[in-house]
Structure 1
Amino acid sequence: MKTKLSDCLRPLLLGALLLGSCVQAEVRPIDRVVAIVDNDVIMQSQLDQRLREVQQTIAKRGASLPPEHVLSQQVLERLIIENIQLQIGDRSGIRITDEELNQAIEAIAQRNGMTVEQFRGALSRDGLSYEDAREQVRREMVISRVRQRRVAERIQVSDQEVQNFLASDLGKMQLSEEFRLANILIPVPEGSSPSTIQAAERQAQDLYQQLKQGADFAQLAISRSAGETALEGGEIGWRKAAQLPPPFDGMIGALPVGDVTEPVRTPGGFIILKLLDKRGGETLVRDEVHVRHILLKPSEIRSEEETRRLAQRIYDRIQSGDDFAELAKSYSEDPGSALNGGDLNWIDPNALVPEFRQVMAQTPAGQLSQPFKSPYGWHVLEVLGRRATDSSSQFREQQALNVLRNRKYDEELQAWLRQIRDEAYVETKL
């Protein structure tokens, strides 16, 4: 009787299956899916890693940790939101190059007063992997760019909103000067008699006269003031005018640094203020140059040398009396200024590339520069004038614009995050 080959192999197959079962029984799962997010998943290892980082951060602040299951849910939700944004970034083609990532790591290390190697060592001492930290920085850079595209670019702040903010009490307070102050308080108890009030006023006036004659404010505050900060020389720190009670709010702006106010009666007594320093709100004077230029760019049909020679010929023609504006309209390859005869109008030199800025600085008003090269090509420029401009109002408008944009960004970001979370398919498995 013949034996089938399959019968001979069956014990071997059975043995292999049994062996496979034994091996499988000894395997322990080292990772698992804790959430499905659209087309991606979040693994337990990712959650555990982030959980450790959050726990360490909370511990360093000296705060108490919430129960682990509560913290895990919060951390997982953060990972879900991040994952949704990363998928948006991937679909949008956002990529972070190694060079950009290296620069970001170096910047983080420098902000912490470290080299990159010291930063790696600090991470290791905290039980964190440098590779994991690097990946987290990459993720954050992608998320930042996604937010710039989806949130920041659709925020609009009108000129009227800026002007309304500047005119509001809040705007004036946020953008106004700050004053570093010290005070001396001569107290007047509640319900004091007229004679007591008069005595306190005479004492305050006597101190004021001493101060005007050069007496040391801090020493008088320590020895005579009843204020809470008397032992610190009366110093109360930085204040905005809007934070001061009348009439100090109107007096302090005109007070020179180092000077003192006359005694002023307040509910607590007579107060003398000294202006120690001030910051913000100062006049900003910016140097501007009125300049025009002709730009010529090398191309596939015109070499670098040919472009230089053309720039020299144009320079010679202008020197011979040809009209600069007409030549700019005919030859200049700067689309932003060519139709205006090459005129860049009044411009801040800091807005220009170093090569252009340097030649412009060396060219007297009313004079033409020799042809020179910048990253954009070959230029011939003429300086038409120079002036100093008070840009304080523009600076305050820019500050107001930044405040309003940041406020709108925070509101828009939260709404957008809720929207993408609601629209995503999310299944948690904790």
Structure 2
Amino acid sequence: MKIFIIGLWLLAQGLGLVAQAETLERIVAVVEDDVILERELNQEVAAVSAKLRSSNVMMPPDFVLRKQVLERMVIDKLQRQLATRSGIQVSDEMLRNSVADIAARNGMSVEDFQQELSRQGLEFKKFEDNLRNEIAVNQLRGREIGSRIKVTDAEVAHYMETQSRAGQTNSQYRLGHILIAVSEAASASAIQKAKEKADQVVSDLRAGKDFKQTAISVSNDDNALKGGDLGWRTLSQIPTLFADSVIGMNQGEISDPIRSPSGFHIIKILEIEGAGQHIVTKTKVRHILIKTNELIDDNEARKRLLTIIDRLKAGEDFATLARTHSDDKGSAINGGSLDWVVPGALVQPFEEAMNKLEINETSPPVQTQFGWHIIQVMARESQDNSEQFKKDRVRDEIRKRKIEEETELWLRRLRDEAFVEVDMDRL
């Protein structure tokens, strides 16, 4: 039997200590009807600390780091709870496919991937549990936020015109971000206090204080433990709130605090670079898929495809064999044709095998999370896709920016409306 201890909250529940020999599990936070244990916090802090050290980032004071890590754990737990209440479930098949995809992206089989995790001291079961939670949270965000986000052709055209007039068409920015959060229900004095804190942070940064270290120590944003690094973005992907400020800033410059419903934002331009012509190589490709199941294992699937390859070498028609044998019914009716595909449209193992083939060449059996394939390249062509690429990228980035803005507000509301009690003595 385990006893959970958290000061007065424990007493309010009418729980007491029994025998000293019993295992003590100390609670560091109560999150709605669940808890975060001190042991769990210690494990997460150790993992984050190791990652920060490997990135050569100066470590913040232990109390500051533990507070930041705990806040991230609280937000994660609240999202998982909401996903459960919303009836979101991740099937075992979906989990297996996701694991296979991750393994394939790392150039490994699932078995090799499990062994690699073990060598790194990670339990595969825990990895699966974390991945299942991550998938559920992503589905929750898609339902709560993504499904409501629309990008019109007019928005894309307006943005490209505005961007062109500003002379910023080819620019990309690597941004640093610090958020001093303010509750939507905050009083005027609380808002003023947050503003003063943001002003002081800006003053310290402009005086030479390290941005990453400051973000880790004071930022309330999800990227705080990454040193506030938002990565590379075009202007269309930068939140609308920041875009006007960014256009007028130089590399290394720090913005004044920018007010939003979430609080006060501080932006630093870490790097700026241009983007050139975009040439895309399209491939016309067809395939035959054999799925694995309880009756067909990997060896049997490969054996069937090798037999089909022998028949192709003997002169039989690829399209006819695809219609007869392929388990991809959508392409089978078209002789296995996937038509013209662009880079990134297919799963990585398939695309890598396809890119190695000459015109009319057929691959050996290739495994993806969908099963086993043989692939044949029918044609290739390169074209200047710059204009369409820009439009597609702008549309995608406007959508990402809208999702990011809505997610920030959604997470802040979720946190503000939840019952969370933290035992500060455990930090």
Q: TM-score normalized by structure 2? A: 0.45
- Between structure 1 and structure 2, the one with the greater Rg is 1
The one of the two structures with greater contact order (alpha-carbon pairs below 8 A, sep at least 6) is 2
Q: TM (normalized to structure 1)?
A: 0.44
